[in-house]
Structure 1
């Protein structure tokens, strides 16, 4: 049995529900809908128990609820041993705790769970708004803990005030631990449910895919350079290579995808790099894509842990990119690398593969060029000239039928980058020239305030590479033959009025809002650089700059000195507060009034009675006479007459100064009030 002292009063119960709601609210958008209904049902049942209309659930009902919960989780998630189902399990356990919420001990356990649930907020996002909401969660949960101290502590103003003071006292220690405590892997670095939707460039390409990406303004890459910056026509951020075509869709194919037979160099030095230095050194911050491929310029190499280089000139990560990920890259110019003498038979077959039927007109045209004995470069020149003759670059290309290449090359002649790249590679292969489609991003917007390149989803692009004996793979961008401004100036310049035409609120057309959006991205970039990506390496570099040498003695001093200062400050504050509490509330309020009058030049004399002090204030500062008389009258009624309403009036007089601002003849009289 629980004693009456341990039972939860109504105010404490409501505070617990408020803390639960704040912690679970962002999760309701990520978790299955039935979890929100389960929480609402548990809260309803517990309120009915408080009102005496129902009893706490018995063992049979609790077992039934557990079985239903496990069944719901099993039906909602394909993979149990992933992060998202574990968060759902924590949330539902947290929810069901309400069905046995009886004592203060139960409340304490529930609120501790609330801290963990609010921490899972950062699994999905680590942005500034999420951080601010996380602080709100901690504030409310701490206030709910303070509300368990008693009925007076449950008042909203009292509980929230206690929470603010506790968090303010904990902030210096939190900052110290953030800077000096050994860094562990973040919660969001563990595997997540891969069944969730992906964003950005996909592992396949069909007509219309990149057109959809052109409608999104979401940032995808932020790139900062250590040294020279590539010109716009060289900003090709390659991420995937499509080598397999089924007549409609391009895919990576066997031997290209690292998870499907493709070779990856995971260790530095495993791949032979040129002796001369790289042309570009840069850091890429990539947004979550739930895919393992990364984006970089041609001929990349990275020493970032968990990043490898593929045989077809790309970077990949061991695990999918579930959250923002930063990696260092070096890129060499292709002319500094020794090109292979020829393709292997397997690579040649892969990059000449075509369906056995379809697009006959294109095949016949390319066969005629091949029979003329033209070189690969001449065939490419004729094909690009055909594009340049009458084709239109558009974000709204017409739909294509079964023979999509023939229809595009000889009928519609309107398309986006995937139409040009796909048809070009098909035609080159039909001419017997190894070719492949490369997908990624092209261009980017330079952010001068923070010196980085911002690449958005609408910068998604597809281009081609063809094989030249003795020179290796060479980039060819068929889109540039039709719309060269797309490469030089970006999609907005090439698409004109079509750019983000379907956007509900076109920020890019409102100069002020566009600049504000860019400023906000700069703030987020700095937030990620200084807080989110503060990993073990950055911490060690910071400590070396601060201490010179990271040794146990210096680390102990780093912890000890701030801790002693903080403890000394808290001790002085407690001592001062204890001395102040010896006086009755009315006396403390009147002391504050005297301190304010002293700041404007009328200090109270030892032993001076309140009425005498008020008369002297009126004599020396006539403009404060009415105010001093009002405060003195309220103080005497509260201190000597026991009038609680007079004490409230006195507190209000000391809190608000609207009357003073209206009546003071010299604004300098109000300094310090």
Structure 2
């Protein structure tokens, strides 16, 4: 194998790597890289494969270690690949990809133990980045497996025989097992510091969830997914099913087919720059001023799954003191960056009916919530104008429209396709739809009647998990409803779907659309009771994992330390840290003491010593240096009643200790059986027992 000259002399760290050490390094690298290819470009796997192949060819003597020109070319191609793959460099994926590239290119100059140690240190870092993307139990277990393999690869570099799988893995497991108590101790007592900087993830990554716009058919697609979206635990009363509206986005602009928020990007960018208010954005402090300090409210914690979007979900009139979370003027919450992994935030919400709203809607807000395209859907516009001509007010028009839904419409997950005038076709032709059809047509018609209205998107309902006391909201609970502005009352929620399928609000989608629910699933697992229970148990385990481990923040740490110590002080913390260290030292000293006593006796010898101790307690101790056969004959002479049993035990011991492997096992079983019933009477003067 070719190698570069050693400028530092013949150091042990510069010893050339044998084949077994190389294979261990490559196995550890592959284990670390595999889960990253869910979010990193596949060409990185190809680059790693080429680098490993080249290095193995060097070992076989078919190629040489690349020179500077080849290395420069490889680095240039890797950087070019990163530039073409990622448009934005200051994000998590390109940072991890850059680390993976460095990790990969190191293989083409993997010559000495020094290179091996550097490569394995990079592997530890890359394994740690797994938990930046996911903190689930499977990722945690896989991360532990990666650490075991990296440590085994590190142990395999220690010399002759160290690369044998059993020895390397055994040493790795032993080292990591010894580190577990220290890890648990540091997990409990080390200060929980927030990140010193925030690196955003690729927000363009595809994900299942509420989008920043809505058109007919979007929410019926979400009904095909049973992935968890939210887990909500309450500190106090649980809202009834008809009040469980988890609002996330408000759509105010309609282009004839799609509802959206046109200034959404400016909406969040303005908040992130800390400018205060733009298009209805209000900070947490302003939101708090308008909310009462006492009165009916809900307190709850939401654990939201990754959505790769900045909006959060809560009940109406929310206020959150969680860092990075802010309330908007549309009664929604936003986070300071796209939610790229599970996020927990605390919320307080006040029922709207408990809050008076006397101030009128501003002219700009009124125009915003009355916007309609210049043309299109003439029948819906005419229906609204006819109700106005009859002298109806806003609430009366709303009641008439809801009555129309109740009498003539069907709730279905498979609505027919709609053309350009989607509202007219739905209201006066097909009359079959999902929640977005009802919300969209309702808001359009109310605006046509001069009533400010808007579409709200989020989730409705959820499954109460009694064992862990939290509400599980899945993607198929996605829902759209409407809000209208009424003078003196402010924004009032109106759910047109409830007029057609009240069971959807009360009992959930599975009840409202039982025949159509999850029909497109490849395997109808939701219909198998055992599978449903197992999936719920797994979700409870994940919920407890997140509550106990992932979300173990400063507040939870202080609470745990207070329960353990009573009062958190430097002295008590020092004792908490020092006691385990002292116990570990005591255990080490005990182990050294026991090790110095020589190797443990064989099982057969320990069984025979048990016989000798029982005879000693009975007054017939064995003399120093006395052979087992001589001891048995002496017992037979001095105590004839014990002679036969002593002779049988001694013969069984000799056959077990000195016979062949076939007969020794049977003799050992016989010796155990004889000793089980041998309890000689105690004499007045017992003597000491000697060794075999």
Same fold, TM-score > 0.5, yes or no: yes
- Structure 1 pair 151/202, CA: closer, same or farther in 2 (3 Å)? same
- Structure 1 pair 659/228, CA: closer, same or farther in 2 (3 Å)? farther
Equivalent position of 1:280 in the other structure: 298
Structure 1 position 596, deviation (Å): 6.1
- Structure 1 pair 153/509, CA: closer, same or farther in 2 (3 Å)? same
Equivalent position of 2:95 in the other structure: 86
Structure 1 position 552, deviation (Å): 2.0
Contact 2:305/2:341 (CA < 8 Å) preserved in 1?
A: yes
Residue 303 (1) aligns with residue 312 (2)? no
Cα deviation, 1:58-107, whole Å, max 9, x if unaligned, reads 00000000000000001111111111111011111111111111111111
Decide which of 463, 488, 493 is 1:475's aligned counterpart. 493
Decide which of 122, 127, 145 is 1:136's aligned counterpart. 145
Contact 1:285/1:324 (CA < 8 Å) preserved in 2?
A: yes
Instruction: Supply the distance in 1 between the matched residues of 2:137 and 2:446 (Cα, whole angstroms).
Output: 48
Instruction: Provide the secondary structure at the position in 1 that maps to 2:480.
Output: strand
Equivalent position of 1:230 in the other structure: 239
Instruction: Supply the distance in 1 between the matched residues of 2:358 and 2:205 (Cα, whole angstroms).
Output: 40
- Structure 1 pair 48/602, CA: closer, same or farther in 2 (3 Å)? farther
Instruction: Supply the distance in 1 between the matched residues of 2:568 and 2:606 (Cα, whole angstroms).
Output: 49
- Structure 1 pair 414/116, CA: closer, same or farther in 2 (3 Å)? same
Instruction: Provide the secondary structure at the position in 2 that maps to 1:497.
Output: coil
Decide which of 379, 382, 387 is 2:405's aligned counterpart. 387
Segments of 5+ residues of structure 2 without an aligned counterpart are: 271-277, 615-621, 636-643, 678-692
Cα deviation, 1:122-157, whole Å, max 9, x if unaligned, reads 122101111111111111111111111112221111
Contact 2:652/2:670 (CA < 8 Å) preserved in 1?
A: no
Aligned runs of 1:153-168 on 2, under 5 Å? 153-168=162-177
Equivalent position of 2:480 in the other structure: 462
Contact 1:392/1:482 (CA < 8 Å) preserved in 2?
A: yes
Root-mean-square deviation over aligned CA pairs: 3.2
Cα deviation, 1:595-645, whole Å, max 9, x if unaligned, reads 7647986879876879999999x97798998898566457xxxxxxxxxxx
- Structure 1 pair 104/417, CA: closer, same or farther in 2 (3 Å)? same
Aligned runs of 1:55-454 on 2, under 5 Å? 55-185=64-194, 190-254=199-263, 257-259=267-269, 261-262=278-279, 263-267=281-285, 271-454=289-472
Decide which of 57, 61, 64 is 1:48's aligned counterpart. 57
Instruction: Supply the distance in 2 between the matched residues of 1:569 and 1:431 (Cα, whole angstroms).
Output: 82
- Structure 1 pair 620/407, CA: closer, same or farther in 2 (3 Å)? farther
Structure 1 position 198, deviation (Å): 3.3
Segments of 5+ residues of structure 1 without an aligned counterpart are: 635-648
Which one is further off, 83-92 or 269-278?
269-278
Contact 1:265/1:310 (CA < 8 Å) preserved in 2?
A: yes
Residue 568 (1) aligns with residue 578 (2)? no
Instruction: Supply the distance in 2 between the matched residues of 1:621 and 1:40 (Cα, whole angstroms).
Output: 71
Equivalent position of 1:558 in the other structure: 576
Contact 1:614/1:632 (CA < 8 Å) preserved in 2?
A: no
Larger Rg: 2
- Structure 1 pair 145/597, CA: closer, same or farther in 2 (3 Å)? farther
- Structure 1 pair 664/214, CA: closer, same or farther in 2 (3 Å)? farther
Contact 2:256/2:421 (CA < 8 Å) preserved in 1?
A: yes
Cα deviation, 1:405-428, whole Å, max 9, x if unaligned, reads 001111111111000000100000
Residue 593 (1) aligns with residue 611 (2)? no
Contact 1:300/1:330 (CA < 8 Å) preserved in 2?
A: yes
Residue 527 (1) aligns with residue 545 (2)? yes
Structure 1 position 542, deviation (Å): 1.6
TM-score by length of 1: 0.89
Cα deviation, 1:145-180, whole Å, max 9, x if unaligned, reads 111111222111111111111111111110010000
Contact 1:194/1:290 (CA < 8 Å) preserved in 2?
A: yes
Instruction: Provide the secondary structure at the position in 1 that maps to 2:173.
Output: helix
Instruction: Provide the secondary structure at the position in 1 that maps to 2:229.
Output: strand
Structure 1 position 298, deviation (Å): 1.1
Instruction: Supply the distance in 2 between the matched residues of 1:611 and 1:165 (Cα, whole angstroms).
Output: 44
Instruction: Supply the distance in 2 between the matched residues of 1:22 and 1:612 (Cα, whole angstroms).
Output: 63
Instruction: Provide the secondary structure at the position in 2 that maps to 1:453.
Output: strand
Cα deviation, 1:8-50, whole Å, max 9, x if unaligned, reads 1111111111111111111122210110111111111111111
Instruction: Supply the distance in 1 between the matched residues of 2:609 and 2:197 (Cα, whole angstroms).
Output: 53
- Structure 1 pair 306/194, CA: closer, same or farther in 2 (3 Å)? same
Instruction: Supply the distance in 1 between the matched residues of 2:373 and 2:308 (Cα, whole angstroms).
Output: 31
- Structure 1 pair 32/258, CA: closer, same or farther in 2 (3 Å)? closer
Instruction: Supply the distance in 2 between the matched residues of 1:59 and 1:614 (Cα, whole angstroms).
Output: 82
Equivalent position of 2:505 in the other structure: 487
Equivalent position of 1:641 in the other structure: none
Instruction: Supply the distance in 1 between the matched residues of 2:519 and 2:611 (Cα, whole angstroms).
Output: 66
Instruction: Provide the secondary structure at the position in 2 that maps to 1:282.
Output: strand
Instruction: Supply the distance in 1 between the matched residues of 2:68 and 2:539 (Cα, whole angstroms).
Output: 53
Instruction: Provide the secondary structure at the position in 2 that maps to 1:436.
Output: strand
Instruction: Supply the distance in 1 between the matched residues of 2:131 and 2:674 (Cα, whole angstroms).
Output: 52
